[in-house]
Amino acid sequence: MLQGIWQAIDDRRFEQAEALLRSDQDVLVSRAGQMALGYLLAHTARQDEARSVFQTLRDAHRDDPWEHIAVHQLARVERLAGQHGRALALLGEERALVEALDDHAHELAVNALEQARNLRALGRLEEARAALDACEQHAGPADPETLARAERERGELSRAQGHAGAARLHFERAIAAYREAEDEVGAREVEELMEES
């Protein structure tokens, strides 16, 4: 069931994904179901509801190793709501939680990527670039999905600075990395970005 829900989400069939999720109460009330619900709410402009879902998850997992995931999702909700300062504050909280974990390179990479997105939105482009450097350092070659997202964000940064050629290069690298990670949806999204340029 969850695989079908996430496939619908990946395909941006949000209404279908939500109907599937709400059709199975056992799945809906599970942690995984609540994560999917929060994601759906955030991506369908229902940020207040998404905040509530992820705050409830955070409260349920306070002081355990899973808490940082709920905090990261709260930060994503704030970014999608245009509240970039709030998002950055939450990402600072997440980073502190992640640093207390034993094996945390991937989590630090994803945290840095989300920081970069918010910094770019605030016009703090050099700080965003530094955050992407940190993202790539933590991700390394074993994490092509995160590297693809970082390259996409570098393309967005280059485009924001008026460097169309550099943006194209980063977008091409992102597409290659998404394909290496077998994420065709991510690759298609970047191809669409390139067509808009």
Q: Name the band, by pLDDT with cuts 50, 70 and 90, for residue 197.
A: low
Between the two ends of the chain, the Cα-to-Cα distance in Å is 38
Nearest Cα neighbor of 38 from 183, 28, 98, 84 is 28
Q: What residues have CB less than 8 Å from 37, skipping those under 6 apart?
A: 18, 21, 28, 53
What are the structural domains of the chain?
Answer: 2-152 (1.25.40.10)
pLDDT exceeds 90 at position 1: no
Nearest Cα neighbor of 120 from 81, 86, 161 is 161
Assess contact for 36 and 52: CB atoms under 8 A.
no
Q: What angle do CA 86, 42, 32 make, to 5 degrees?
A: 110
Average pLDDT, the chain: 95
| pLDDT at residue 103, as a whole number | 86
| pLDDT at residue 75, as a whole number | 98
SS3 of the chain: helix, strand, coil, percent, to 5: 80, 0, 20
With 0.85 as the threshold, say if the pTM is over it. yes
What is the per-residue pLDDT across 51-85, written as a single tens digit (0 to 9) for each? 999 999 999 999 999 999 999 999 999 999 999 99
